[in-house]
Structure formats: C-alpha cells, structure tokens
Amino acid sequence: MSKEPFVLDDTNEFFTLPSPPGDVKAGFSTRKQGVSSAPYNSLNLGLHVSDRNEDVLENRSRFAASIGRDEQSFVFAEQVHGNDVQRVGSLDRGAGSETLATAIAGADGFYTTDPTVTLMSLYADCVPLFFIGEEGKIVGLAHAGWKGTVGQIGSNMLGAWKEEGVDLQTVHAYIGPSIGQANYEVNDTIITSVDACLPHSVRRPYYPTNPGKYQLDLKETNRVLLQSAGVPEANLHVSTYCTYKEADWFYSHRRDGAKTGRMAAFIGLNCGSVTDQ
C-alpha cells in the first residue's frame, strides 16, 4: 500500500492532498480552529447537528479562507446515505452553503468540470471518496457510509464519468480519513449486504467477533469496489487516519453519539478564479 496520501496543513484546520494529478485542490478538515462550543468544539462544518447556525457559518467562512476558495463556490449535497451521483456546475454555486434546504437534493455524490465550483461533503465516520480524472480536468466527491458503500456509489461515479467519455485508466481515487476496522462493529445484515456487492474472489474485508457481530473495514471495501469498477490499483490511495481513534483531530458519531460535529471533505479544480466572473 502506498504512503499516507493526506498531509496536515500548517493551520491545523485541514489535511490536504499535497500533489494530486493536475491543477486540483483537495483535502479534509479537522475539528480544530473554529468557534463552535462543546460538544461541537470547534470547527464544526455541519448545519444539521443542532449547533448554532451562526457558529457553523462563521466556521465555513474561516475554512473557505484557509483553503483559498470562495465561500460562494461551495456546493453541498443533501447526503441521504444513498448512491445517487449528480453533475454540478456554476449554476449550483452556493447550494447548501447557508441553509440545508438549498443542498443538492437526494445526492450523496457529485462531480464537476467547472473551476468555479468547490465540492463539499460532511463526515463523522463515513468514508469520503475523492476522484480526479483526465489529469485534473474532472473531479468528484462521494459520501460512502455502509449503505452508500454497498450501494456502490463509487462505481456509480465511475459509470457517470465513463458516460462523459473519461478514460478510467486516468482516474485517481483517494479514500479519506474515516472510521477504522478495529472500531467499526456491524451486524449480520450489513455483512450480508457487503458480501453481495463484492466479487466472490476477493478476501472478505471483515472478521467475526461476538455471535452475529463483525469488525468491518469500510475503507478496504471501497478500495476493492473501486478497483473492480476500473480504477487501476496503482491509482488507489487509502488514508490510515481513523476518525474514531484520533479524537483530537476528528469528530466521530460512533464514539461521541449524535451530539457531535462534522468534518468536511472538499475538492475543486484550482485553475482560474473561484469568484464571480
């Protein structure tokens, strides 16, 4: 496996991909350097977790400045734990940035070829999937909890790109910070769904513990599915960071319960201006 693809920025506000293919900026926020109070302390970027809206919006404004993107370029999806993937462009700028009601409805994944757009997705254990194709001419982002994973949202992204004429041999996929296998216990129902979506020939990405309980490696599940869908093995990059284990850096729903914040994955084409033309 290749080395850790995400590197902590000097601000402590986000992990970044230091050398992605093409002119792309991408990364994953930490929980540090924000204004939210406990239990959302401090850089909570989610509007849907009962934090003060004004604090979240201030955090988003600060985060935009830190990553060098225009806040109005942000596009958020509704994130319903599904597998729907949508193309977005300049007309979608600002979707979900200030209110949940304006997020891209029904979607957990989206992609763009527009440099004025910054794709944003929220996490507190689920797997962020980053996609870069054609040497940085197209980028995508997908939210893969266990439901999105077994629903093959990553494969759906690649299928949409193939229809757009993207050569999948050019695609690099990055599996970001998320809950690790040692801290992700699941039941028989989930394992049955995992087995159904994986090729029969691959090693199962889980092991049994107590009766009817298993430790599932969601990152490895997504890696196998992405490789099976056409991403070259050499172009798959997996983070070792565990959101559950590393409480100083990350929120975790499994560790902290419902009253916790959200990190954001982001990706954008970094060429040209990200402000209004």
Ordered domains of the chain (ranges, CATH)? 7-179+231-269 (3.60.140.10)
- Tokens standing for 66? 């830190």
- Cα 247 to the center of its chain, rounded Å: 18
Instruction: Write down the pLDDT at residue 271.
Output: 61
Q: Please report how the helices 218-228 and 153-163 are oriented relative to each other, as an axis angle in degrees rounded to 10.
A: 30
CB atoms within 10 A of CB 106: 12
Alpha-carbon separation of residue 99 from 22, 57, 59, 73 (angstroms): 32, 9, 14, 14
∠ CA 144-105-59, rounded to 5°:
70
Instruction: Write down the pLDDT at residue 3.
Output: 87
Distance CA(42)–CA(32), nearest Å, equals 6
Instruction: Judge residue 102's burial from the number of C-beta atoms within 10 Å of its C-beta, 0-12 exposed, 13-18 middle, 19 or more buried.
Output: middle
Given a contact cutoff of 8 angstroms between Cβ atoms, the answer to whether 122 and 263 are in contact is yes
**C-alpha count within 13 angstroms, C-beta hemisphere, residue 73:** 25
pLDDT, tens digit, for every residue of 206-235? 999 999 999 999 999 999 999 999 999 999
Distance CA(255)–CA(246), nearest Å, equals 10
Within 8 A by CB and 6+ apart from 66, the residues are 9, 11, 13, 14, 33
- Tokens standing for 81? 């734990």
Instruction: Write down the pLDDT at residue 276.
Output: 42
Q: Which residues of the chain have pLDDT under 70?
A: 1-2, 271-277
pLDDT, tens digit, for every residue of 116-131? 999 999 999 999 999 9
Instruction: Write down the pLDDT at residue 192.
Output: 98
Residue of 189, 191, 171, 192 whose CA lies nearest to 129: 171
Q: How, if at all, do strands 127-133 and 172-175 pair? A: antiparallel
Helix ranges (H only) for the chain are 53-67, 146-150, 153-163, 188-197, 218-228, 253-256
Instruction: Judge residue 257's burial from the number of C-beta atoms within 10 Å of its C-beta, 0-12 exposed, 13-18 middle, 19 or more buried.
Output: exposed
- Tokens standing for 277? 């033309």
Give the SS3 label for residue 174. Answer: strand
- Cα 136 to the center of its chain, rounded Å: 18
